[in-house]
């Protein structure tokens, strides 16, 4: 059975205005990859009801799993739940178990469990709750769509609880070979190795720092032996061309600044 | 004339695997907002020819401007240019001016300007070059699609050069009012103010730190006077309810950790 395929949908004007920097795509991408769930695309959209409805329908129909973040809080701009319910043509109900959890959560505080906070117990009919161990207000799963909070600490706690219920796949093997060679010089070698190993995807990520440059060659595939063999061949060919190559010990080295050098 | 609308398209397996954390969406979002160009969506897709073709066509037809990042380097996995050309049914040509720039760039180095590096002079026919002051290999504009490098420092330099050629709009006014009040308590006030100011979008972003919590209320709109009036009304109502509210001096405060507390 092939690995399940998934999409992430980040809902929030604050990301599109640049005011808030999304951290959920990168975090979820790593978690999904580790579960053997292939992430095929991620989208960021506005807090707009029709846009949410259309995008949820499209992604739900296209992938095994969809994971959303944002828009399930207590205020007027939190419209995700109404839109997701509309996407599946079901009403929103005041969910008894969600109400019970929120009532317990606020009981021993001096915070008023007012109508706005009760709105966080509104859930599309037929959805299953996703636990929120941080602040009680639950996420939920409806069909193949998992609706979670936008605050990273809450989203992460929700996903950790949810992960065991997902069908995983084969975790890809990823080997990084660091090469003291420019990307343009190694290109021929990589094209050659790539041709020989069909199931291995080979990415190359150049990096630069003062007085130094190199290329991180990242080999990924579902068959360990193939990825190993392709990595060995890259190493051998780079060394034969007169450049240093070393395999990263932990296979998770990120080239260059340690943050982000795609290309 | 309404503000132009735009989309960002990040192309790269390394983002979807979680290996590389995207920084381009957040950076471009801020720049576009400052230019009065409304960012309506952002997508991250894989290095897959058909996916790139379909997505470029969809976004190009839907928005005034599209900005892509990634996949224009010298290696076999850099397939963006072939796919973008196919999206517009034009051939890829070896662009004379791009060749001239790359030839100059490599002339005084000991780096071989080999066939792989020459590939970076491949440009869809009819496209205009976008300058790359960092590493010479240009981006390009074809129709309303702006194709840029994935490496953030290069993308940023390309965009800075490109920005003056874009039709800007009205830069939104954004005022942040910090309120020492929970999001659920302020919800009624915000719904009320939101109803009174149709052209002002009001977002609320709760934040928590040990022993403290609050809500950043972010008011955004194209009419300065309306945004000012709505911010004043929020402040007045929060204070009347017995909580502290203060307007952020620089209007760009990001609540909580300083990184990312959407919700």
Q: Each residue of B60-71: pLDDT tens digit?
A: 999 999 999 999
CB pairs under 8 A between A and B: 241
Instruction: Give helix then strand counts, H and E, for chain B.
Output: 9, 12
Q: Is residue A42 part of a domain?
A: yes
Q: Do A185 and B252 touch (CB under 8 A)?
A: no
Cβ-based neighbour number of residue B121 at 10 Å: 22
Minimum Cα–Cα distance from A194: chain B residue: B76
What's the rounded Cα separation, in Å, for the pair A253 and B3? 42
CB of B69 within 8 Å of any CB in chain A?
yes
- What is the per-residue pLDDT for B183? 92
B17/A45 CB distance under 8 A? no
Q: Is A13 touching B (CB cutoff 8 A)?
A: yes
For chain A, what is the domain count? 2
* B contacts of A42 (beta carbons < 8 Å): 15-16, 43-44
pLDDT at B110: 83
Q: Is A195 exposed, middle or buried (0-12, 13-18, 19+ CB in 10 A)?
A: exposed
Q: What is the rounded radius of gyration, in angstroms, for the C-alpha atoms of chain A?
A: 22
For residue A180, is it within any domain? yes
Residue B258 is predicted with a pLDDT of: 32
Number of C-beta neighbours around residue B221 at 10 A? 21
The percentage of chain B sitting over the pLDDT mark of 70, rounded to a whole number, equals 94
**Each residue of B30-53: pLDDT tens digit?**
999 999 999 999 999 999 999 999
Q: Is residue B263 part of a domain?
A: no
Q: Are residues B106 and B207 in the same domain?
A: no
pLDDT band at B231 (very low <50, low <70, confident <90, very high): very high
- Report the percent of chain B where pLDDT is more than 90: 89
Looking at the structure, do residues B152 and B211 belong to the same domain, yes or no?
no
Work out the angle between the directed axes of helices B80-87 and B49-62 (0-180°, nearest 10): 50
Query: Is there a single domain that holds both residue A238 and residue A115?
Result: no
Asked if A80 and A147 sit in the same domain, the reply is yes
In a shared domain, residues B197 and B147: no
3-state secondary structure A18-38: CCCCCCHHHHHHHHHHHCCCE
Residue B259 resides in a domain: no
- Same domain? A186 vs A118: no
The minimal CB distance from A254 to the residues B19, B194, B262 is found for: B19
A14 and B CB contact within 8 Å: yes
Residues A178 and A157 reside in one and the same domain: no
CA dist A140 and A146 (Å) reads 6
Q: Does A218 touch chain B (CB under 8 A)?
A: yes
A-proximal residues of B, 98-137, CB under 8 Å? 111-112, 114-117, 119-120
User: Do B39 and B19 fall into the same domain?
Assistant: yes
Structural contact between residues B186 and A75, judged by C-beta atoms closer than 8 angstroms: yes
pTM across the whole model:
0.92
Residues A259 and A187: beta-carbon distance below 8 Å: no
pLDDT at A256 over 50: no
Instruction: State which residue of chain A sits closest to B73, comparing Cα positions.
Output: A263
Residues A95 and A204 in one domain: no
Q: Residue B130 pLDDT > 60, yes or no?
A: yes
* Separation of alpha carbons A58 and B42, rounded Å: 15
> What pLDDT is attached to residue B208?
81
Task: Tell whether B32 and B111 lie within a shared domain.
Answer: yes
The reply to whether A255 falls in a domain is no
Contacts of A29 in chain B (CB under 8 A): 15-18
The pLDDT of residue A146 is above 60 = yes
The mean per-residue pLDDT over the stretch A102-128 comes to 94
Same-domain pairing of B95 and B140 = yes
The mean of the pLDDT values for chain A is: 92
Predicted local confidence at residue A258, as pLDDT: 32
Degrees, nearest 5: CA angle B155-B156-B158: 65
Q: Looking at residues A104-128, what average pLDDT do you find?
A: 94
User: Of residues B212 and B161, which shows the higher confidence score?
Assistant: B161
CB of A42 less than 8 A from some CB of B: yes
Residue B261, pLDDT > 80, answer no
The reply to whether B113 and B153 lie within a common domain is: yes
What CATH number did the domain enclosing B87 receive?
3.40.980.10
**Closest residue in chain A to residue B201, using alpha carbons only:** A77
**Burial class of residue A22, CB neighbours in 10 A (0-12, 13-18, 19+):** buried
CATH of the domain at A177: 3.30.70.600
* Inter-chain touch B73–A194, beta carbons under 8 Å: no
Full domain range(s) for residue A228:
173-247
Query: From CA A28, how far away is CA A101, in angstroms rounded?
Result: 26
Cβ–Cβ below 8 Å for B154 and A220: no
Residue A249: pLDDT band by 50, 70, 90 thresholds?
Answer: low
pLDDT band at residue A207 under the 50/70/90 scheme: confident
Give the pLDDT mean for A206-224.
90
Q: Is residue B56 part of a domain?
A: yes
Final residue before a domain boundary, out of B165, B181, B210: B165
């Amino acid at each position: 059975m092939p690995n399940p395929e998934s999409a992430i949908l980040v809902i929030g004007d604050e990301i599109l205005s640049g005011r808030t920097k999304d951290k959920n795509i990168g975090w979820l991408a790593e978690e999904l990859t580790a579960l053997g769930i292939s992430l095929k695309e991620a989208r960021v959209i506005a807090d707009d009801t029709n846009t949410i409805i259309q995008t949820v329908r499209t992604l739900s129909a296209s992938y095994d799993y969809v994971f959303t973040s944002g828009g399930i809080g207590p205020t007027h701009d939190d419209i995700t739940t109404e839109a997701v319910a509309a996407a599946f043509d079901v009403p929103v109900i005041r969910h008894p178990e969600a109400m019970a959890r929120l009532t317990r959560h606020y009981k021993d505080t001096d915070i008023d469990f007012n109508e706005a906070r009760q709105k966080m117990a509104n859930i599309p009919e037929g959805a299953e709750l996703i636990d929120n161990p941080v602040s009680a207000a639950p996420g939920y799963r409806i069909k193949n769509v998992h609706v979670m909070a936008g605050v990273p600490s809450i989203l992460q706690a929700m996903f950790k609880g949810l992960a065991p219920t997902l069908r995983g796949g084969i975790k890809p093997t990823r080997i990084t070979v660091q090469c003291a060679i420019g990307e343009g010089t190694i290109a021929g070698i990589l094209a050659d190795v790539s041709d020989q190993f069909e199931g291995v995807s080979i990415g190359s990520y150049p990096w630069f720092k003062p007085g130094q440059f190199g290329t991180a060659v990242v080999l990924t595939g579902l068959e360990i032996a193939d990825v190993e063999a392709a990595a060995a061949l890259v190493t051998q060919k780079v060394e034969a061309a007169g450049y240093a190559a070393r395999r990263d010990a932990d296979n998770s080295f990120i080239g260059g600044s340690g943050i982000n050098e795609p290309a």
